[in-house]
């Protein structure tokens, strides 16, 4: 019952945000834009999304090995595809992560090892995204002329970077209570693993390359959506705008980011001096690409042997 209430709340939030994002938009103009789509760009975006998922699987495999939950490349890719499907049907990426966790547990790993592999993977991805945003700040600051937009950008940038660095610092603190107090001991353990992965001379460069590539490919997917409707936005502008939007979309208040992404993309395009309608259409196409690939993940799930097993509840089995 509680899960149903949370899901209903997030559906309502998604619809409300979509309404706010679209209420001032000329739907006739959007329809005209959508009828002029060059589908070859959408196909290219879907293929790039598959590559993105595969690179994510390679990173996750490296992390899961350190968490005592080893996976093969094929397993990690298949589980990521299934996770992509559940990301489109459950709130934000939480639903996909929960299913990935259960699938790792299905391989014989313990709940704790499986959970740590997922949480550490997510944390490293967030840190990489924050670094991209902060590194591009001088150029994105110039792109956005509105003072409120600049302030929001700086706040998002440094909040994300501060959170990521704070997470890594946690693993170096010597305080014993961090390892024994329930609210902190699991986060501390994930921080220790993240530090081992990032600052190891063997795995570090590989993890950094994979993490940065995953986020750059998200920009390329958005760029394909821009090109599919011939919107007047160049790649540099898209590169400056998409990472902060992706960071905000991670907030788990809607279904697959719908509503949050459209509202944020519309505002960001407006701040950058681009047509807000184009931002809305690009966001819809961006979400559609992930939905299409998620549907392929649904086929992987239907054909999987694990489907016959009972899906997990909200208890992750951590003590």
pLDDT, tens digit, 9 for 90 and up, residues 172-195? 998 888 888 887 888 999 999 999
pLDDT over threshold 50, residue 314: no
Q: Is residue 10 part of a domain?
A: no
> Nearest 5°: phi and psi at 255?
-90, 115
Q: Is residue 238 part of a domain?
A: yes
Rounded CA-CA distance 130/109 in Å is 31
Q: What Å distances lie between residue 202 and 21, 62, 172, 197, CA to CA?
A: 45, 11, 20, 9
Q: Return all residues near 7 (Cβ < 8 A) that are at least 6 apart.
A: 90, 91
Indicate the number of domains in the chain. Answer: 1
pLDDT over threshold 90, residue 32: no
Q: Is residue 121 part of a domain?
A: yes
Tokens representing residue 201 in the block: 């001379």
Q: Return all residues near 164 (Cβ < 8 A) that are at least 6 apart.
A: 123, 126, 127, 130, 131
Distance of CA 10 to the CA centre of its chain: 17
Q: Is residue 21 part of a domain?
A: no
pLDDT over threshold 80, residue 253: no
Q: Is residue 314 part of a domain?
A: no
Q: Residue 267 is part of which domain span?
A: 28-307
| pLDDT, position 235 | 93
Q: How far apart are the first and last CA of the chain?
A: 24
Q: Is residue 313 part of a domain?
A: no
| pLDDT, position 151 | 84
Place of tokens 């694990």: 306
Q: Which of 18, 48, 316 is nearest to 186 (CA)?
A: 316
| pLDDT, position 54 | 97
Tokens representing residue 177 in the block: 């209570």
| pLDDT, position 154 | 84
| Count of CB atoms situated within 10 Å of the CB of 89 | 15
| pTM metric for this prediction | 0.85
Q: Is residue 11 part of a domain?
A: no
pLDDT over threshold 80, residue 258: no
CB 156 within 8 Å of CB 243: no
Q: Is 183 exposed, middle or buried (0-12, 13-18, 19+ CB in 10 A)?
A: exposed
CB 125 within 8 Å of CB 214: yes
pLDDT over threshold 90, residue 141: no
Half-sphere CA count of 181, side-chain side, radius 13 A: 7
The residue with greater pLDDT, 272 or 226, is 226
Q: Is residue 1 part of a domain?
A: no
Average pLDDT over every residue of 294-308: 86
Residue 315 parent element (H or E)? none
E strands in the chain:
none
């Amino acid at each position: 019952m509680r899960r149903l209430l949370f899901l209903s709340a997030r559906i309502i939030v998604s619809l409300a945000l979509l309404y706010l994002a679209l209420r001032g938009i000329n739907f006739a103009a959007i329809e005209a834009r959508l009828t002029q789509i060059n589908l070859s760009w959408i196909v290219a975006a879907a293929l790039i999304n598959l590559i993105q998922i595969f690179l994510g699987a390679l990173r996750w495999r490296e992390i899961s090995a350190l968490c005592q939950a080893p996976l093969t490349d094929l397993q990690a890719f298949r589980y990521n595809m299934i996770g992509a499907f559940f990301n489109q049907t459950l709130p934000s990426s939480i639903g996909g992560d929960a299913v990935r966790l259960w699938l790792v547990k299905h391989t014989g790993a313990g709940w704790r090892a499986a959970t740590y592999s997922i949480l550490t993977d997510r944390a490293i991805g967030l840190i990489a995204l924050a670094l991209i945003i902060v590194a591009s700040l001088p150029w994105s600051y110039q792109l956005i002329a509105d003072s409120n937009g600049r302030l929001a950008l700086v706040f998002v940038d440094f909040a994300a970077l501060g959170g990521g660095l704070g997470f890594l610092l946690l693993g170096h603190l010597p305080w014993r209570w961090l390892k024994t107090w329930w609210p902190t001991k699991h986060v501390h353990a994930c921080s220790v693993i993240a530090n081992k992965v990032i600052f190891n001379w063997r795995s570090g460069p590989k993890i950094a390359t994979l993490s940065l590539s995953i986020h750059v490919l998200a920009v390329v997917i958005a760029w394909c959506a821009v090109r599919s409707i011939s919107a007047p936005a160049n790649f540099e502008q898209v590169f400056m705008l998409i990472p902060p939007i992706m960071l905000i979309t991670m907030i788990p208040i809607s279904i697959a980011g719908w509503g949050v992404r459209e509202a944020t993309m519309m505002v960001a395009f407006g701040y950058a001096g681009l047509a807000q309608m184009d931002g809305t259409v690009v966001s819809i196409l961006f979400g559609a690409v992930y939905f299409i690939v998620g549907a392929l993940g649904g086929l992987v799930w239907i054909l999987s042997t694990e489907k016959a097993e009972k899906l997990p509840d909200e208890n992750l089995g951590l003590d």
